[in-house]
């Protein structure tokens, strides 16, 4: 595909020819690689419902988060190559199993292939909403390729400070790119639409709180609420789980209840009402899927 001849799909602008086997930051070639496709019941309630979100986990990633819970597919690149036709069939199989939506996880580096696959799946009868689940380290030009195909955008907004973005994820100018990307997402799909408790359209911005970083988290909440008000949903998450010993000591701890409660209180006092929060024992590796090629 011509988009891979000189790949600049994401902010890294690697300028490599993925069609000839050259590899950039994400390490992906010009074929779709998927590690799992199944009914996932642990997304936000308006996405999973009682049945589950038809979640497709793509291998590789354009970020290198030291704390990534899905490192087996983002860094170790576990997964299976599939054709565009097979990807379309996977979407239809999930729909036939009762999935409430098709949830594309870490899809940025495969956008041109995904566009072709979704168009084919829709021709064959795919009618449930499509969710684009991303780190938000995206280029607006790439997101425009998806216009009309995506119903729900589910981006992260990980960092406000570029110092943290570079230190923990090797993502220069993260907030600048992510904030522009989220604005493009909102332009495409508009305000949240929920029917019978299940989201049909709109944007949910996730923020995973990290230990000792409450001020950065507050800046993100402030930015989102002042930019979008109640037209989007926020998902404020406390589930950070250190799954292996990391070189930065602050990342070897869980988020304390006090830190998280302060963030939730801050958001509420600011006026935020359209938000998902987490309660109970979410800080566990039991929420991490086994990447066993199920459904691929």
Dump pLDDT digits (tens) for 124-137: 999 999 999 999 99
Query: Which of 7-21, 31-45, 69-83, 125-139 shows the lowest per-residue confidence on average (mean pLDDT)?
Result: 69-83
Residue-level pLDDT at 34: 98
**Backbone phi, psi, residue 199, to 5°:** -75, 135
pLDDT at residue 281, as a whole number: 60
pLDDT category at 103 given cuts 50, 70, 90 is very high
What average pLDDT does the segment 7-21 reach?
Answer: 97
* Span 235-259, average pLDDT: 88
Q: State residue 271's pLDDT score.
A: 97
The band of 69, judged by pLDDT with boundaries at 50, 70 and 90, is confident
pLDDT digits (tens, 9 = 90+) for 259-290: 999 999 999 999 999 999 997 665 554 557 88
Residues in CB range of 127: below 8 A, 6 or more apart = 95
Please state the separation of Cα 184 from the chain's center in Å: 15
Sign of CA dihedral 146, 62, 44, 36: positive
Find the mean pLDDT for residues 174-184: 98
Percent of the chain past pLDDT 90, that is, above it, reads 87
For range 147-175, the mean pLDDT: 98
Residues 6+ positions from 86 with CB-CB distance below 8 Å: none
> What does pTM read for this prediction?
0.96
Look up residue 56 and give its two tokens. Answer: 């497709």
Tokens of 55: 């979640």
Strands 32-40 and 80-82: antiparallel
Is pLDDT at 46 greater than 60 in this prediction?
yes
Q: Is the pLDDT of residue 246 over 90?
A: no
What average pLDDT does the segment 188-195 reach?
98
Residue 111: its pLDDT value, please?
Answer: 98
Q: DSSP label at 270? A: H
Domain 2-287 classified CATH 3.20.20.70?
A: yes
Report the alpha-carbon distance of residue 171 to residue 246 in Å, rounded.
18
**Pairing of β 198-208 and β 193-195:** antiparallel
Average pLDDT over residues 234-254: 88
State the alpha helices, DSSP H only, in the chain.
45-48, 71-74, 84-96, 111-123, 140-143, 162-169, 174-189, 214-228, 257-270
- pLDDT at position 71, please? 82
């Amino acid at each position: 595909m011509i988009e891979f001849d000189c790949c600049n799909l994401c902010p890294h602008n690697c300028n490599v020819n993925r069609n000839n086997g050259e590899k950039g930051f994400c390490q992906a070639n010009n074929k779709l690689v998927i590690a799992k496709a199944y009914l996932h019941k642990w997304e936000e309630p308006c996405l999973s419902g009682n049945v589950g979100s038809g979640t497709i986990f793509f291998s590789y990633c354009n970020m290198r988060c030291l704390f990534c819970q899905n490192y087996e597919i983002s860094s170790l690149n576990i997964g299976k190559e599939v054709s565009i036709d097979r990807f379309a069939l996977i979407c239809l199989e999930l729909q036939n199993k009762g999935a409430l939506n098709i949830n594309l996880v870490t899809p940025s580096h495969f956008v041109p292939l995904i566009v072709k696959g979704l168009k084919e799946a829709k021709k064959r009868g795919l009618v449930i909403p499509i969710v684009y689940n991303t780190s938000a380290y995206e280029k607006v030009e790439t997101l425009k390729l998806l216009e009309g195909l995506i119903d729900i955008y589910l981006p992260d907004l990980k960092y406000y400070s570029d110092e943290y973005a570079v230190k923990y994820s090797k993502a220069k100018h993260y907030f600048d790119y992510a904030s522009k990307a989220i604005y493009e997402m909102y332009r495409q799909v508009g305000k949240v639409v929920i029917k019978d408790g299940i989201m049909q359209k709109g944007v949910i911005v996730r923020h995973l709180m990290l230990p000792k970083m409450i001020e950065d988290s507050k800046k993100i909440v402030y930015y989102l609420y002042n930019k979008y008000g109640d037209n989007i949903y926020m998902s404020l998450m406390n589930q950070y789980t250190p799954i292996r010993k990391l070189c930065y000591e602050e990342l070897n701890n869980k988020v304390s209840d006090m830190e998280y409660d302060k963030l939730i209180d801050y958001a509420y006092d600011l006026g935020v009402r359209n938000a998902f929060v987490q309660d109970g024992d979410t800080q566990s590796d039991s929420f991490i899927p086994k990447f066993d090629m199920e459904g691929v």
